[in-house]
């Protein structure tokens, strides 16, 4: 799988597990550390923990292993580093505080074909 396919898989898993405000950003033009950011919000610390566990489990089934996982549910932000793809699972409050979409606003946001 290439980076874009991995990012879209993450978005699909997050959508199936009821994450909110899912976004995939192609940061390859502006970044040397990754090609894609995936962002999703959870309504509670418990949900962001569950979402990050679901991503890790699904990726492991596909042979995609995290290089590093940072953060705790109590911090409101879990960052999962899969090399070319960085998955960020945040509480709604933390997502609003850091406004990552604005920081990377000049990058391409991928169209997501997710069911509502």
CATH of region 3-109, choose from 3.30.460.10, 3.20.20.220, 3.30.70.360, 3.40.50.10490: 3.30.460.10
Cβ pair 58, 12 in contact under 8 A: no
Q: Divide the 116 residues of the chain into consecutive groups of 10 and give the mean pLDDT of each group.
A: 94 95 94 94 95 96 95 94 96 92 89 74
**What does the pLDDT read at residue 23?**
95
Strands 36-42 and 85-91: parallel
């Amino acid at each position: 799988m290439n980076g874009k396919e991995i990012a879209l898989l993450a978005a699909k898993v997050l959508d199936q597990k009821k994450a909110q405000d899912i976004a995939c950003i192609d940061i390859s033009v502006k970044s040397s550390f990754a090609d894609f950011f995936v962002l999703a919000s959870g309504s509670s610390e418990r949900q962001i923990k569950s979402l990050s566990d679901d991503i890790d489990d699904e990726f492991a089934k596909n042979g995609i292993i995290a290089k590093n996982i940072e953060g705790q549910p109590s911090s409101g932000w879990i960052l999962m580093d899969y090399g070319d793809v960085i998955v960020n699972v945040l509480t709604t409050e933390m997502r609003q505080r850091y406004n990552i979409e604005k920081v990377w606003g000049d990058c391409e946001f991928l169209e997501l074909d997710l069911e509502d």
